[in-house]
Structure 1
Amino acid sequence: MSRTGLAVEPREESALLRRIGRALAPGAREIPDDTFIAALCAVRRKRWASRMMDLTRREGRIWISREDMEQAAASVDDPAASDPMLLNALEPVLAARYRELGDTPKAALAALRADMLDTGRVLSSAQVARVAASIASAFGLADGDRFAGGAQREDEERAENEAAIERAAQARRRREELRLEEWEQSLVPFRDVPRILHCSQREALRWVAENRLPVARRVRQPDGFELWEFDPAELVALRGDLQEWRRGGQDESGVHRREGGRDARGRHDTALPEPPAVGKHVANAVIARVAALDRYAAHFRTARALARRITLVTGPTNSGKSHTALDALARAESGLALAPLRLLAHEFREALASRGVEAALATGEERIVAPGSRHLAATVEMCPFSNPVDVAVIDEAQMLFDPDRGAAWTAAIMGAPARHLFVLGAPDCIPMVRRIAELCGDPLDEITLHRKSPLRAAPSGVRLNDLRTGDALIAFSRREVLDLRAALMERGRRVAVVYGALSPEVRRAEAQRFNSGAADILIATDAIGMGLNLSIKRVVFASLRKFDGRQTRDLSVQEVKQIGGRAGRYGKHEDGVVAVLADAGSPRFIRDRLAAAPEPPEELRPLVQPDADIVRAIAAEIGSDSLYGVLARIKRAVLRVDDPNYRLADMEQPFAIASALEGVEGLDLTQRWTYAMCPVDDRDNGIRRLVGWAAEHASGQAVPPPGTGRLPPPDRAGREELERAEKRHKRLVAWRWLALRFPDSYPNREDAERATAELNDWIESVLRQHSRARTRR
């Protein structure tokens, strides 16, 4: 018990004594009572915040954040604060937060609910009413009860609409599944074909080989054999063609004639007779031809009509791959530059401008028109397949192996309508590009470049305290990047960061801070490996293992070379050094990976996926307007798992979106496919939000752009608020993507672009402010 009459708990004594010691004046033996009270309050604030968490969660007020509670606890100046006093301290903090969420009570409530959905928490109607009443009070709304009641009714209506959409979706999905099951149950095995067609088994085998008899389904057996199944209705309809097939199947010597060979350009001609499309239930083999997924190159008719030549330019990072290709592109009368990121598409456009060529821009989120220009810079997914050009450049071809985006590179390389196509990439893409050129029948030239400055492995590990100006520290998660950032700033270092959740604009600003010397050290994920020009002397790995979305594994040879190759920028550093943090792994691992030859790819079949034309064609063939039904057929049987030429890309997210959209009435097949391609992150409940937007669109309502939400002063923003802003930015990216495709339903693009710019500026200010504040302390 102190002289203030306040009892100090044993667990508080150590922290309290430290604070008292710091507060004592030189030579003094006591501190004033108010100083003692302030010190005791400081010690108890963490416990008060935890108590507020317990109290508010019991009341169901799950929208109150940890930062709110910590801010409220910081305002309490009574060491003996009771539970009611703690809850009262929350009220002004919450009122200020609500006013920062929007300009009106309605906008604030919408922003709060969106933030909650990002974290996977959905408010009940009663909770919506309660928080709406608090928001009304914060805004000084005279009739707060009416606002709260209206918010509750709207939420109940919204919940009922969502439930109705899900019920309708379940019914439609089941209908499509039954359609597919009924058709599959009607199929017959190969042994029944001769009986149905009145032919010999040998004839039936020959006609299958000639693609005259469509194999409806191929079922792989555990022993490796394949069972063929056929649609009996289709077989019966083909009986009238048998005599012609028999006459055309032999030449004068009685030897069977195989159609095919090579065309006038020496390409393999795989145009065997198409399986006839008959009946209502069309065979998967027929659908595969419609989809062109088992001979995907033929889908790109403009490219196949051109006498294309491909030049593959490979080399490690800092080998100057793009210089020659961009020079050729600038000299051409018309051209196309395809980049993996929006930021890089902008850089391609700027590179062409520096060579005196104005180019238009097309990315998922924006368009820049250049009247009269015949050059376009775009992201790979925006490749125009119908407008022939003289020269095209496709960068980062090693992305062919990426499970999420690889199919876009397959389509771009196969379908870019250019007479001369430059493909740029790391050495490990060589066998895949060769395979694609072979499938397209295009001649391929290869150019191999080498680094302009040497790259070497450090002989020993590097301690965190020994990091130097110009170092880049590589981690493999956002959390680890921010942890390392905090640790370095505690040591007085100025730090820039780059990780995947940051927008391209913020990444570029952080890179500029590092390049200019405003930051000593760059901490980044493997997002550093693409799209940024960085003046790095040494790359230091904080870990030699990463989680790739499926498993935690060692870094591959290509990953070490691609990331480590960022060290030693030509013209600024004589060489580049690649190291590992002490105790994070063996320097020998780095040395061996840098010296190793490119790892042979496990799979050389390029990834493919349908586009809008293919989706529409399959829907017409199976007689369904259900995107779920179309994708279910593709996923289930259109492209064989063991197809010799192609692999079906992972369609899990488009399939999930299509499944959720089944209950939304008023959208046609093409519109549904567009929504299925929208870049959303389901870890933030992105699909649920997307379905809500689609329902508003289908009902004729305008979908308002998401706002920036609460943006506190940068010097008061913590990690949680930074992550919240990053998620709001992702919402805006998805909304802007849809606004380009459905401008009537997604108006006010200017507001969305302003909000995006505001978020980018705020996030960059937070990163800069934290550096300055930490350095001052």
Structure 2
Amino acid sequence: MNDTPVSPAEAAILASGLSFTAKELPSLIREVSRALPATETTVATALLKLRRRGYVGRLADLASRAGIAWARREDVRAAADSVTSIDASDDTLHAALDAALLPRLRDAGRTPDAALEAIAAEIAETGGALTPPRLYELARAVAVAHAHPDPARFATNARIAEESRRAERREAEVAARTSKREEIRRLRAWEQSLVPFQPVPDLLGCTAKEALRWIAAGLIPVARRLPGKSGERWEFDPAELAPLRAEVPLWRTRDTTPAAPVLPQGRGANAAIARVAALDRYAAHFATARALIRRITLVTGPTNSGKSYLALNRLAESQSGLALAPLRLLAHEFREALASRGVQASLTTGEERLLVPGSRHIAATVEMCPFRTPVDVAMIDEAQMLHDPDRGAAWTAAIMGAPAREIFVLGAPDCIPMVRLIAALCGDALDEVSLERKGPLIAAKAPVGLGDLRKGDALIAFSRREVMDLRAELIRRGRRVAVVYGALSPEVRRAEAARFNSGDADILVATDAIGMGLNLNIRRVVFSAMQKFDGTQRRDLNVQEVKQIGGRAGRYGLHEEGVVAVLAGAGSPEALKALLLGAHETPAELRPLVQPDADIIAAVAAEIGSTSLFGVLARIKRAVLRKDDPNYRLADLEAAMSIATAIDGVTRLSLLERWTYALCPIDLRDNGVPRLARWALEHGAGRTVSPPEAGKLPPPDRASGEELQRGEKVQRRLVAWRWMAQRFPDAYAETREAEAETARLNAWIEDVLRQQRRSSQRA
């Protein structure tokens, strides 16, 4: 017999007569000791609480073995919390999970079909897969949750429809892979047929000296130029050279050679592709702009120097005008700025159109520049985006193609060399105006502690996670916080900015998304880090980034000066000051980026005799714009080629329809390509594509960080859907539903973020 004294908690546990394991006893004693004096009910409640933790693991295992891929972690936890038995069987746990899943399956969509589609898409997007039997079980559960009159029939129909779609997907995937292999084979075969310079004289029946002279004159096309150890290595297409042999006697009789000869060329040869694409003569693509006598006024200066104010005033004075912005948010602001000057403007962005009858002014995003409608004045903002690897080509097109007689190009000083080159390539007159900041901007001498942040400060981080972590810590300290980061919709960003500007929030925590647009009453900008991940590597901030973001401090008319500081422990104030005062760095590459448009895609496809979008893009990538082209660079086509690879098998969509899909703004980190491929397949099959839905949203004051992020993802998917709806309204027909869901999500996300005020008041 054990005579060791026991604690009151242990005594109560032993007296309860309940069964427990030796492993459970220490934890059970701790639980019971918090509720002394303890009764049998107290002990049973403590044991149930303890065992519910184990039920979570058992439920997750049961769900996995049963193939219930639609059970989330929160569903499993809710099921475990609902169990009231301290000795629950597997059947009891299964029943609890079914009950916990019921409301989510019901709330996932407005109808059983919408709910089933939303849940199946969520599983696919997280890397899961539903076998036909599992899909049947999910469909049946959804039907039961929606009180469908015949769940079995609904599930059977859903399974049959899914099996048909899977067959379509397999057929499309096989077709896409086959097309890609064929295009790669054709390209490799052509490359393998090329010959170096040495055989060229024999193929043409001339001397090596003559061949070199005629190559220099452009009479003999070089099929491919490759870097070599001792300079550039030329390769030639025998099929292109064969018809030129008959021209040799004529060339020999000429004293001079034409500057731009028109030569018979082998079909699909690189030289022919480069000729029809004409990206080395990109400015000539914009016929309306080239028909006008244009004058460009380049207005450069730091943030808060009045660049937009100057251009908007001139735009408002004109009979017709165009304001091009980098973001939908800023396009809205330009429209409102024109309205404040008495000018009503229409709005055109990737996912929306607001037409004002009779208006001759348009506010638009840069990618939506109307190239065929002449106006008196155009303004193009944030021209330093010319250097952006993803969107720079849109600024090249806008500046070269804006159909206006007077064009204001606004930007930071580092855009000056590239704009000068663009003006020269277009033959446009160029005036340059340099503005100074309206109020002083100074660097703080000492770092700023998190507890030293004051009302009107903006704390800058470089990822959503860092923003939310800093927000949580400031809330814990009782501060009222607004946030701005890239994943938020323009509407939510504006609402958060309004809360900060009105004083409803003391501190703004933001990413560098505040660098463009948003009028913010910031007194001091504080960098929480002096490095950022740029999509490729983690690197130090550069001069332009510090000036662009730091320049948001000290808004003219509200603050006498702007202050830029660094958070304690994040870097050196001296290093920050050096960047803030540093000269603008001249970019290493000054040639503007260009990319093909629909006309170029069609011309190249006809030239190579292919309907494969991947094949067309691959040949463009190989054939156009030599790396040493003095004027232009080809934009990165990798994202478009990834989409082309996924959708080339949807043969019911034309080549140009697939090209439109390749331009859709998707989130590659959120399985954007597979989702777009599913939409394309539905479109190609003649079915309508339903907009993404978020289902029932939890009360804002109880929403978790995971649920907030899930809502943001649905919001971004809706952006892509609405973008497609502008181009294919028949296939993407439910625009009202998409707009209503967008508005609902915006309101909910803003409510979730606003809860910090109540949290700080309770703290």
**TM-score when normalising by structure 1:** 0.91
Contact 1:101–1:112 (CA under 8 A) maintained in structure 2: yes
- Residue 643 of structure 1 deviates from its aligned partner by 2.3
Contact 1:16–1:43 (CA under 8 A) maintained in structure 2: no
SS at match of 1:570: coil
Rounded to whole Å, the distance in 1 between the matches of 2:513 and 2:659 is: 29
Quick one: structure 1 residues 574 and 178, their matched pair in 2 at CA, closer, same or farther if it must change by over 3 Å? same
Give the equivalent residue in structure 2 for 1:26: none
Give the equivalent residue in structure 1 for 2:514: 528
Give the equivalent residue in structure 1 for 2:602: 616
Give the equivalent residue in structure 2 for 1:193: 200
Give the equivalent residue in structure 2 for 1:658: 644
- Residue 532 of structure 1 deviates from its aligned partner by 1.0
1:473 aligns with 2:459: yes
SS at match of 2:185: helix
- Residue 651 of structure 1 deviates from its aligned partner by 0.8
1:690 aligns with 2:676: yes
Quick one: structure 1 residues 539 and 84, their matched pair in 2 at CA, closer, same or farther if it must change by over 3 Å? farther
1:91 aligns with 2:98: yes
- Residue 196 of structure 1 deviates from its aligned partner by 2.3
- Residue 160 of structure 1 deviates from its aligned partner by 2.3
1:296 aligns with 2:282: yes
SS at match of 1:294: helix
Q: 1:175 aligns with which of 179, 182, 202?
A: 182
Quick one: structure 1 residues 211 and 544, their matched pair in 2 at CA, closer, same or farther if it must change by over 3 Å? same
Per-residue CA distance 1:206-256 (angstroms, 9 max, x = gap):
3322322221111222x2522222222322223444455445543xxxxxx
Contact 2:480–2:756 (CA under 8 A) maintained in structure 1: no
> Aligned ranges for residues 148-163 of structure 1 at < 5 Å?
148-163=155-170
1:314 aligns with 2:300: yes
> Aligned ranges for residues 269-348 of structure 1 at < 5 Å?
272-279=259-266, 281-348=267-334
Contact 2:12–2:39 (CA under 8 A) maintained in structure 1: no
Give the equivalent residue in structure 2 for 1:551: 537
SS at match of 1:238: helix
Give the equivalent residue in structure 2 for 1:649: 635
Quick one: structure 1 residues 699 and 32, their matched pair in 2 at CA, closer, same or farther if it must change by over 3 Å? same
Rounded to whole Å, the distance in 2 between the matches of 1:586 and 1:380 is: 37
Quick one: structure 1 residues 134 and 775, their matched pair in 2 at CA, closer, same or farther if it must change by over 3 Å? farther
Give the equivalent residue in structure 1 for 2:474: 488
Rounded to whole Å, the distance in 2 between the matches of 1:126 and 1:525 is: 45
Rounded to whole Å, the distance in 2 between the matches of 1:570 and 1:623 is: 59
> Aligned ranges for residues 192-271 of structure 1 at < 5 Å?
192-221=199-228, 223=229, 225-250=231-256
Quick one: structure 1 residues 520 and 212, their matched pair in 2 at CA, closer, same or farther if it must change by over 3 Å? same
> Aligned ranges for residues 701-740 of structure 1 at < 5 Å?
701-740=687-726
Rounded to whole Å, the distance in 2 between the matches of 1:35 and 1:766 is: 37
Residue type of the alignment partner of 1:276: L
Give the equivalent residue in structure 1 for 2:425: 439
Q: 1:119 aligns with which of 121, 126, 131?
A: 126
SS at match of 2:280: coil
Residue type of the alignment partner of 2:492: V
Rounded to whole Å, the distance in 2 between the matches of 1:282 and 1:98 is: 54
CA-atom RMSD in angstroms: 2.5
> Aligned ranges for residues 293-692 of structure 1 at < 5 Å?
293-692=279-678
Q: 2:70 aligns with which of 47, 63, 66?
A: 63
Residue type of the alignment partner of 2:136: A
Structure 2: where are the runs of 5+ without partners?
A: 1-9
Q: 2:109 aligns with which of 85, 88, 102?
A: 102
Residue type of the alignment partner of 2:241: L
Rounded to whole Å, the distance in 2 between the matches of 1:656 and 1:185 is: 25
Rounded to whole Å, the distance in 1 between the matches of 2:89 and 2:448 is: 50
Give the equivalent residue in structure 1 for 2:12: 3
Rounded to whole Å, the distance in 1 between the matches of 2:418 and 2:53 is: 56
Rounded to whole Å, the distance in 2 between the matches of 1:13 and 1:581 is: 45
SS at match of 2:378: strand
Matched residue count: 750
Residue type of the alignment partner of 2:235: E
SS at match of 1:311: strand
- Residue 773 of structure 1 deviates from its aligned partner by 3.9
Rounded to whole Å, the distance in 1 between the matches of 2:294 and 2:47 is: 77
Contact 1:20–1:36 (CA under 8 A) maintained in structure 2: no
Q: 741-750 vs 639-648, which deviates more?
A: 639-648
Per-residue CA distance 1:355-375 (angstroms, 9 max, x = gap):
222222211111122222222
**TM-score when normalising by structure 2:** 0.93
- Residue 103 of structure 1 deviates from its aligned partner by 2.5
Rounded to whole Å, the distance in 2 between the matches of 1:435 and 1:321 is: 21
Rounded to whole Å, the distance in 2 between the matches of 1:665 and 1:571 is: 59
Give the equivalent residue in structure 1 for 2:5: none
Per-residue CA distance 1:420-470 (angstroms, 9 max, x = gap):
111111122222222222322322221111221211222222222222221
Rounded to whole Å, the distance in 2 between the matches of 1:210 and 1:575 is: 61
Contact 2:292–2:403 (CA under 8 A) maintained in structure 1: yes
Contact 2:530–2:571 (CA under 8 A) maintained in structure 1: yes
Rounded to whole Å, the distance in 1 between the matches of 2:214 and 2:25 is: 87
Residue type of the alignment partner of 1:192: P
Quick one: structure 1 residues 499 and 148, their matched pair in 2 at CA, closer, same or farther if it must change by over 3 Å? same
- Residue 515 of structure 1 deviates from its aligned partner by 0.9
Contact 1:489–1:775 (CA under 8 A) maintained in structure 2: no
- Residue 128 of structure 1 deviates from its aligned partner by 1.7
Contact 2:28–2:46 (CA under 8 A) maintained in structure 1: no
Quick one: structure 1 residues 685 and 249, their matched pair in 2 at CA, closer, same or farther if it must change by over 3 Å? farther
Per-residue CA distance 1:271-310 (angstroms, 9 max, x = gap):
x41542434x243123212212223222222222322211
Contact 2:481–2:506 (CA under 8 A) maintained in structure 1: yes
Give the equivalent residue in structure 1 for 2:147: 140
Quick one: structure 1 residues 18 and 325, their matched pair in 2 at CA, closer, same or farther if it must change by over 3 Å? farther
Residue type of the alignment partner of 1:386: R
Rounded to whole Å, the distance in 1 between the matches of 2:629 and 2:146 is: 63
Rounded to whole Å, the distance in 1 between the matches of 2:288 and 2:364 is: 19
Quick one: structure 1 residues 15 and 293, their matched pair in 2 at CA, closer, same or farther if it must change by over 3 Å? farther
Rounded to whole Å, the distance in 1 between the matches of 2:575 and 2:64 is: 49
Residue type of the alignment partner of 1:138: A
Per-residue CA distance 1:390-422 (angstroms, 9 max, x = gap):
211000111111111111111111121221111
Rounded to whole Å, the distance in 2 between the matches of 1:42 and 1:598 is: 62
Contact 1:361–1:377 (CA under 8 A) maintained in structure 2: yes
Q: 514-523 vs 578-587, which deviates more?
A: 578-587
Quick one: structure 1 residues 626 and 274, their matched pair in 2 at CA, closer, same or farther if it must change by over 3 Å? farther
Quick one: structure 1 residues 72 and 770, their matched pair in 2 at CA, closer, same or farther if it must change by over 3 Å? farther
Quick one: structure 1 residues 284 and 112, their matched pair in 2 at CA, closer, same or farther if it must change by over 3 Å? same
SS at match of 1:404: coil
- Residue 47 of structure 1 deviates from its aligned partner by 5.3
Structure 1: where are the runs of 5+ without partners?
A: 24-28, 251-256, 260-271
Contact 2:273–2:623 (CA under 8 A) maintained in structure 1: no
Rounded to whole Å, the distance in 2 between the matches of 1:303 and 1:162 is: 44
Rounded to whole Å, the distance in 1 between the matches of 2:451 and 2:81 is: 33
Residue type of the alignment partner of 1:617: A
